Amino acid sequence: MAVSGSLPRSAGPPGEARVFSVHWALFLAVLLSLLVLLPGSVLAQPATPNDEVRLRIGDILTLSLPGEPALNGEFPVDRRGRVVLPEVGAVDVAGRTLPEANTIIRNALARAYRNISPLAVTLKERRLFITVLGYVAKPGEVDLPADSTVQEAISAAGGLIQGAQLDKFQVRRGNRVIVFDYKRYLDTGDPRILPTLQPLDTIFIPSSPATGNVLVPFDSRTLSEQGDGTDNPNAIKVFGEVNRPGSFAYKDGMSVVDMIMRAGGVTRYASIDRIRVIEGGEPKVFNMRGFLDTGDTSLLPRIQPGATIFVPKEEEEIRRSIRTVYVIGEVNRPGAFEAPPDSRLIEILANAGGPTRYADTTRIRILKADGGTENFNLSRFSETGVGTLPEILPGDAVYVPEKIESADRPSWLKIAPQRAVEVIGAVTRPGRYEWSDEMSLLDLIGEAGGPTQRGDLAHLQIVRARGDGRAITLDLATFLSEGGSISDLPKIQAGDVVRIPELPSSPIDNKGNWVTLPKEDVIYIMGQVSIPGRYAFNKNMTFLDILTAANGPTQSADLRNVRISHRGLSGSKVTQVNLAQYFATGDETLLPKVRNGDVIFVPDRQNKDWFEDPKENTVRVLGSVAKPGRYRFVNDMTLLDLLAEAGGPTADAYQQKIVVVNLGCCREQARLFNLVEFARTGDITKLPVVQAGDTVYIPNASQSDWKVFTDAMQNILPIIALIAAFGG
């Protein structure tokens, strides 16, 4: 035992100090001897219960070292069996007793800490790390107390869910798998059935084979519908035309009828007179109808464990019995039906679903089993009640024929889509017509009664049922007017749709229904026309036709500058038309050629911007005029025309010196014109020549020479009068 510190020193002389040191050494020796001789001394303390317990994964150790806050707290044993210490790292302690773990921890800490003698290591709590998988509400890892059971682990995972197989729970511990019957534990409460859990165990809850391979709601109803003998090799299998096919547990004394009832009974389509029962690899046929009619229990076949019962479908076979009646023709469910000897026609037809809408109920035939034939008018009987319903005997056949339709208009429902062509639009009888390859387009239009008066044959459309489905436009009007070969017309195929569009009744109606016109068949007219818009157009129409359809130009229209934008051509092309010149001369060559898609624009003559006209085509009028500005000018106009267009000179205009600036090709020059003198003489030769690009300026009267002189004299006269007054 190491004792730190130094011996006390005496303040006396050196001799006394040596004597005191000897006495102190003797005292310590005696004290050590007493400690060794005392039984159960502090150096040999009795072992605690935790000293014999070996540490496991999940245990929680408590460390305490005064003066070191990092080593005062709880340290759990992780999944690898280690505790992680500050400044040291992970230390393996799993599988060690507490004293052994104490020594290992001290040795590890001694490398980083100077004084660890006060260190205390205790076991605070033992825990279980368990993983619960399978049919539980919340599968995953759970942290439990050390003495927890399987039931507590399952409860911590949210409990079992429907579909868990209770008799084959598993506890997986490394490579070892422990299978136990949890259902027996729930029945008996015997805790010995449950295995003791250890850290890192995995509890797996399997699913019941009754759930199948698809996740479905698993409850008592589902179990009853699927049967209760899934895993039992002695179970009876019932399938076919039953309401709840499945495997059912075998019980002594049960018959075929009992097993079919457990399967929910037969469906409406079951053939109960040919039920098959397979036992020991040998099939037997059971006529349940005969058993139900007679009640003879000897007809019931014997059922053995593991047998198979199959109920076939009635439609899968042609039934023949002493009570079979056959119904064929236009009924909803033709077939063979069982009928008592006193059956009537109405009962038999009701079992067959009744006649269809194509049935001719005036000519129903009953084919007798003896070879005879009987006719019956059901329509007349239902309307008048006169007559007697024929009796149907076993072996008879009831035939309900199809309606005989008129030759001129068969029902379109009778024509299959692969043999019909649809004609829609402006025809007399639009509809669906039977088609043959030797027919032509004209045959089809003739069958539909031909186009109406408003039918637009110039834009007939054909939508192909085969290929890319694009519409083909045909000018049938030109073909009919000019003639041609029938073989040049498009070939019509079954499934095609032929549409004849309708012409608009008026230009206003045309404008209102512009959305019905394809862009390839229209022309646009905008600007100063009475009804601008989008109009139907074809190659037989002219520029004047489309202008007339828009109710002509307005009063403010600039007829000299009508423009046509030609669309659909390479690049951009605009044609300018002087419509006023055409009206003056009647020259047809001045009218442009227009086509579908073109845009006609008629500008406004009054409300137009000055920069719309190029400077080479205008004359500037400035100064004292009513409306100074830029004016379009042509060579046959004079200065008087230009002044009149500008509203004439104002009252303060100096008309004796109107300036005309000519911008010629060689040099610029300005000339004066006296409008007052011209008005007195009327000499036309005095008018200066004005050309496009020139400038006309009308000065103000304040700029005249006389006005300048009079203004100067008004300033001089007061000075002269003042001089005269002083001189006098």
Q: Is 6 exposed, middle or buried (0-12, 13-18, 19+ CB in 10 A)?
A: exposed
CA distance 362 to 384: 13
Residues in the chain: 728
**Which residue is it, tokens 């590890």?**
108
Give me the CATH number covering residue 83. Answer: 3.30.1950.10
Among 152, 111, 112, smallest CA distance to 132 is for: 152
Using alpha carbons, list the distances in angstroms from residue 493 to 412, 445, 466, 474, 496: 17, 14, 9, 16, 6
CA distance 34 to 23: 17
pLDDT at 42: 37
Tell me the pLDDT band of 205, cut-offs 50, 70 and 90: very high
Task: Indicate whether 40 pLDDT > 50.
Answer: no
Structural domain containing residue 561: 522-602
Give me the CATH number covering residue 175. Answer: 3.10.560.10
Average of per-residue pLDDT across 74-94: 86
- Do 589 and 556 share a structural domain? yes
Q: Which long-range contacts (CB under 8 A, 24 or more apart) does 109-117 make?
A: 109/71, 109/85, 112/87, 112/88, 113/65, 113/68, 113/71, 113/87, 116/65
- The total number of structural domains in the chain stands at 7
- Do 177 and 240 share a structural domain? no
Is 215 inside a domain boundary? no
- Do 627 and 663 share a structural domain? yes
Is 26 inside a domain boundary? no
- Do 597 and 559 share a structural domain? yes
Any residues with CB less than 8 A from the CB of 625 and at least 6 apart, and which? Answer: 643, 646, 647, 648, 649, 650, 653, 698
Q: Could you tell me the pTM of the whole model?
A: 0.33
Is 411 inside a domain boundary? no
Angle, CA of 492, 495 and 500, to the nearest 5°: 60
Average of per-residue pLDDT across 539-544: 82
Average of per-residue pLDDT across 149-165: 90
Tell me the pLDDT band of 311, cut-offs 50, 70 and 90: very high
- Do 259 and 195 share a structural domain? no
- Do 623 and 583 share a structural domain? no
Average of per-residue pLDDT across 18-46: 46
Q: What is the mean pLDDT of the chain?
A: 80
Q: What is the pLDDT of residues 341-366, one digit of tens each?
A: 778 888 889 989 999 888 888 889 99
Tell me the pLDDT band of 549, cut-offs 50, 70 and 90: confident
Asked if residue 144 lies in contact with residue 157, where contact means CB atoms within 8 angstroms, the answer is no
Task: Indicate whether 204 pLDDT > 90.
Answer: yes
Task: Indicate whether 69 pLDDT > 80.
Answer: yes
Pick from 111-120, 270-279, 611-620: least confident: 611-620
Average of per-residue pLDDT across 311-321: 67
Query: Strands across the sheet with 282-286, in order?
Result: 246-248, 236-240, 308-311, 275-279, 282-286
The residue ranking higher by pLDDT, 661 or 233, is 661
Average of per-residue pLDDT across 593-617: 76
Is 715 inside a domain boundary? no
Taking the CA atoms of residue 104, residue 105, residue 110 and residue 116 in that order, the dihedral angle to the nearest 10 degrees is: -120
CA distance 350 to 559: 82
Asked if residue 323 lies in contact with residue 300, where contact means CB atoms within 8 angstroms, the answer is no
Is 672 inside a domain boundary? yes
- Do 668 and 691 share a structural domain? yes
The residue ranking higher by pLDDT, 685 or 628, is 628
Q: How many CA atoms lie within 13 A of 443 on its CB side?
A: 15
Task: Indicate whether 202 pLDDT > 90.
Answer: yes
pLDDT at 50: 59
pLDDT at 2: 37
Average of per-residue pLDDT across 73-97: 86
Task: Indicate whether 29 pLDDT > 60.
Answer: no
Taking the CA atoms of residue 269, residue 272, residue 274 and residue 275 in that order, the dihedral angle to the nearest 10 degrees is: 100
Is 713 inside a domain boundary? no
Task: Report the relative pairing of strands 127-134 and 140-145 from DSSP bridges.
Answer: antiparallel
pLDDT at 226: 55
Average of per-residue pLDDT across 557-576: 83
Among 244, 251, 249, 161, smallest CA distance to 207 is for: 161
Q: Which of 194, 210, 226 is the last residue of a domain?
A: 210
CA distance 376 to 390: 8
* Buried b or exposed e, range 75-95, using 16+ CB within 10 angstroms: bbbeeebbbebeebeebebbe
CA 85 to chain centre: 58
Is 84 inside a domain boundary? yes
CA distance 530 to 557: 10
Task: Indicate whether 541 pLDDT > 60.
Answer: yes
Asked if residue 106 lies in contact with residue 68, where contact means CB atoms within 8 angstroms, the answer is no
DSSP string, 348-372: HHHHTT-B-TTB-TTSEEEE-TTS-
CA distance 165 to 149: 19
Q: What is the pLDDT of residues 509-537, one digit of tens each?
A: 555 455 566 677 788 898 889 888 888 78
Task: Indicate whether 273 pLDDT > 50.
Answer: yes
Angle, CA of 183, 164 and 128, to the nearest 5°: 75
Is 34 inside a domain boundary? no
pLDDT at 23: 53
φ and ψ at residue 23, rounded to 5 degrees:
-60, -40
Q: How many CA atoms lie within 13 A of 704 on its CB side?
A: 15
Q: How far apart are the first and last CA of the chain?
A: 154
Pick from 163-172, 215-224, 589-598, 685-694: least confident: 215-224
Task: Indicate whether 335 pLDDT > 90.
Answer: no
CA 492 to chain centre: 38
Pick from 56-60, 430-434, 506-510, 522-526: least confident: 506-510
Helix (H, G, I), strand (E, B) or coil at 64: strand
Mean pLDDT is highest, among 88-102, 595-609, 695-709, for 88-102
Q: What is the pLDDT of residues 159-194, one digit of tens each?
A: 998 888 888 899 999 899 999 999 899 999 899 999
Q: Which of 602, 626, 655 is the last residue of a domain?
A: 602
Q: Which of 260, 285, 311 is the last residue of a domain?
A: 311
- Do 626 and 700 share a structural domain? yes
